[in-house]
Amino acid sequence: MLPFSYTRAADGDAAIAAGALPGAKFLAGGTNLVDLMKGGVEAPQALIDISRLPLAGISALQQGGVRIGALARNSDTADHPVIRSRYPLLSRALLSGATPQLRNAATVGGNILQRTRCHYFYDPGFQMCNKRNPGSGCAALEGHNRMHALFGASAHCVATHPSDMCVALSALDALVRLRSAAGERAVAMLDFHRLPGDEPHIETRLVPGELIVSVDLPASSFVKHCAYLKVRDRASFAFALVSVAIALDVREGLIHEARIAMGGVAHKPWRAFGAEQLLVGAPVDAAPFAEAAGAAVEGARALKHNAFKIDLARRAVLRALRIAQS
Amino acid sequence: MTETATSDALALVLKVNGADRELQIDPRVTLLDALRDHLGLTGAKKGCDRGQCGACTVLVNGRRVYSCLTLAAAHDGDRIATIESLSAQELRSVQAAFVEHDAFQCGYCTSGQIMSTVALLDEMSAGAASAVTPRLTGPIELTDDEIRERMSGNVCRCGAYPNIVAAVRAVAGES
């Protein structure tokens, strides 16, 4: 690890001021950042420790939704009674990720900002990586890319976003609330992460010094019919080859609204809007799930080693829809 | 606000196993290295040093974490419990189950496995769910599937997993 200064932020304003300086990074749970610093991928000059700011609360919103503080630990969020009873999809997604030790340390804000697990990004032994060294090229494009993206990739980057939590947040139409010296703003989870384009090193809409303060979920109508299905190389503690979040709002036997989001397939959680529309109005007992699953992978583009993920994604969507159906 | 110049030593206090321990350390030092190299507590082991194996598992403010993946500087004032802190009874029951069920071979991962077992029992008492919990509401039964999932953050290079599951099952049955 290269030397850095360590500062514990006294309050949000101090954190934002310090975090806006060049070379500064916020430190919360540190489960990804410290690892990347050890590997020489990240080398901040200053760590601004925000872990003790009062942003860990989870509280009901007046309009029926819930506000999850950015510093809420993944385990606390997954096990919070309101989340377990009203947003089981989010609990399931969180519990599908990592291990108890990591979930006890990792925060909601950090989970959103975690970096890709592309092996070429993670290993500075590879010179080429447009995220680490913008303009150097993408080693994964012609390399081992079985874990990589099916949707929205570019000639500059084929990495995927590794979060499970964000897939559920995308399906639930979460809002990410941000704070900077200029004030507060909110960005939809759907728009928060960027596609790689020709600037894959710019991964989110955050600007320097901007701090995630909470994730807000709208009132949930998806309690009874939801599912999170994660397909990975081993039964636990592995990133998704493909994951699927399904949320169905069923009213009097008919699908009033459907949400289908996939993880492990793009640079951001990937909503299958076309597939969702196929299900609206259909009776939940006889909905065109197979057609929707097919539509969910329309437009997928395989790399050399990840073509298997197209069929895997289609089948995972179909299976998750059937789980959510019952 | 506590501030240091680049990688100057930082003063902090860790409440380790019930005692206040004052340290002057470089901010790059992980909690694991602080415990092992600065405080001489070698129960927590350094396996991968990248948060992938679990040999370094300790409890911070009562909850299990990977001590290799967190900076000591971030834990000023925190309560840290290493395997050295387990009460004679806790250690006896968990250790005895690991011996009884032959839940190790080389033993390098064992202190982490034991700390995870202790934490698992606390988490079960608190009603924490896991990825394999069938229903998120209502009581949770500690099946072998649950044990495997809840112990998945501790890797055993010797592959003693079936016996680790048996040991955890036995300890859970006693408590």
pLDDT at position B5, please?
47
Q: Where residue B137 sits, what CATH number does that domain have?
A: 1.10.150.120
Residue B3 lies in a domain: no
Q: Which residue does chain A place closest to B6, by CA atoms?
A: A5
The H or E element that residue A225 is part of is strand A225-231
Provide the residue range defining the domain that includes A37: 5-52
Cβ neighbours around B9 below 10 Å, total: 13
Is the minimum CB–CB distance between A99 and chain B shorter than 8 Å? yes
CA–CA dist B26, B33 (Å, integer): 11
Residue A45 lies in a domain: yes
User: Which residue out of B65, B75, B165 would a mutagenesis test of the A interface target, given it has the greatest number of A Cβ atoms within 10 Å?
Assistant: B65
Residue B1 lies in a domain: no
Q: Which residue does chain A place closest to B130, by CA atoms?
A: A95
CA–CA dist A78, B144 (Å, integer): 21
The shortest CB-CB distance from B69 to any of A4, A30, A85 is to A30
Distance from CA of A301 to the nearest CA of B (A): 31
User: How many beta-carbon pairs below 8 A join chains A and B?
Assistant: 123
Q: Roughly how many angstroms between the first and final C-alpha of chain B, as a whole number?
A: 44
Among B84, B112, B136, give the residue marking a domain's end. Answer: B84
Q: Which residue does chain A place closest to B8, by CA atoms?
A: A5
C-beta pairs of B123-128 under 8 Å, 24+ apart in sequence? B123/A100, B123/B150, B124/B172, B126/A79, B127/A79, B128/A75, B128/A79
| Cα dist from A48 to A91, A204, A287, whole Å | 29, 19, 50
Residue B4 pLDDT greater than 60, yes or no: no
The shortest CB-CB distance from B74 to any of A51, A99, A101 is to A51
pLDDT tens sequence across A94-144: 999 999 999 999 999 999 999 999 999 999 999 999 999 999 999 999 999
Find residues 99-118 of chain B whose CB sits inside 8 Å of chain A: 116
Among B40, B67, B84, give the residue marking a domain's end. Answer: B84
Beta bridge partners of B63: B60
User: Scanning the structure block, which residue is given the tokens 């009674």?
Assistant: A81
Please indicate whether, in this complex, the C-beta atoms of B64 and A3 are within 8 angstroms of each other.
no
Domain tally for chain B?
2
Helices (H) and strands (E) counted in chain A, each on its own, are 13, 12
Pick from A250, A244, A273: nearest CA to A325: A250
The shortest CB-CB distance from B65 to any of A9, A95, A101 is to A101
Does B110 lie in the same domain as B59? no
Does B140 lie in the same domain as B104? yes
Q: What is the 3-state secondary structure (H, E, C) of B41-95?
A: CCCCCCCCCCCCCCCCEEEECCEEEEHHHCEHHHHCCCEEECHHHCCHHHHHHHH
Q: Render each residue's pLDDT in chain A as its tens digit; 326 residues.
A: 999 999 999 999 999 999 999 999 999 999 999 999 999 999 999 999 999 999 999 999 998 999 999 999 999 999 999 999 999 999 999 999 999 999 999 999 999 999 999 999 999 999 999 999 999 999 999 999 999 999 999 999 999 999 999 999 999 999 999 999 999 999 999 999 999 999 999 999 999 889 999 999 999 899 999 999 999 999 999 999 999 999 999 999 999 999 999 999 999 999 999 999 999 999 999 999 999 999 999 999 999 999 999 999 999 999 999 999 99
The shortest CB-CB distance from A99 to any of B2, B30, B152 is to B152
Beta strands per DSSP E along A112-203: 175-180, 183-188
Is the minimum CB–CB distance between A100 and chain B shorter than 8 Å? yes
Domain tally for chain A?
2
pLDDT tens sequence across A295-311: 999 999 999 999 999 99
Distance from CA of A230 to the nearest CA of B (A): 10
Residue A148 lies in a domain: no
Among B84, B107, B126, give the residue marking a domain's end. Answer: B84
Provide the residue range defining the domain that includes B105: 86-174
Residue B2 pLDDT greater than 80, yes or no: no
Please indicate whether, in this complex, the C-beta atoms of A88 and B5 are within 8 angstroms of each other.
no
Q: Where residue A32 sits, what CATH number does that domain have?
A: 3.30.43.10
Contacts of A40 (CB under 8 A, 6+ apart): A2, A124
Residue A234 lies in a domain: yes
Residue A184 lies in a domain: no
CA–CA dist A165, B128 (Å, integer): 17
Is the minimum CB–CB distance between A30 and chain B shorter than 8 Å? yes
Residue B5 lies in a domain: no
What does R_g of chain A's alpha carbons equal in angstroms? 19
Does B79 lie in the same domain as B118? no
Distance from CA of B42 to the nearest CA of A (A): 19
Residue B67 lies in a domain: yes
Distance from CA of B92 to the nearest CA of A (A): 23
Taking every pair of Cα atoms in chain B, the longest distance, rounded to a whole number of angstroms, is 52
Please indicate whether, in this complex, the C-beta atoms of A5 and B10 are within 8 angstroms of each other.
no
Does B143 lie in the same domain as B67? no
Please indicate whether, in this complex, the C-beta atoms of B136 and A92 are within 8 angstroms of each other.
yes
Token readout for A274 is 């076309």
ipTM: 0.96
String of b and e for A295-322 (b: at least 16 CB within 10 Å)?
Answer: bbbeebeebeebeebbebbbbbbbbbbe
Helices (H), chain A: 12-19, 33-38, 74-79, 81-86, 88-96, 100-105, 108-113, 119-122, 165-171, 189-192, 273-279, 289-296, 308-325
Is the minimum CB–CB distance between A133 and chain B shorter than 8 Å? no
pLDDT at position A209, please?
86
pTM recorded for the entire structure: 0.97
CA–CA dist A200, A156 (Å, integer): 7
Among A14, A35, A52, give the residue marking a domain's end. Answer: A52
Token readout for A89 is 């999809």
Q: Is A183 left (phi over 0), alpha (psi -120 to 50) or beta?
A: left
The shortest CB-CB distance from A30 to any of B74, B130, B150 is to B74
Q: Which residue does chain B place closest to A92, by CA atoms?
A: B131
Residue B163 lies in a domain: yes
pLDDT tens sequence across B26-64: 999 999 999 999 999 999 999 999 999 999 999 999 999
CA–CA dist B46, B51 (Å, integer): 10
Does B143 lie in the same domain as B95? yes
Residue B2 lies in a domain: no
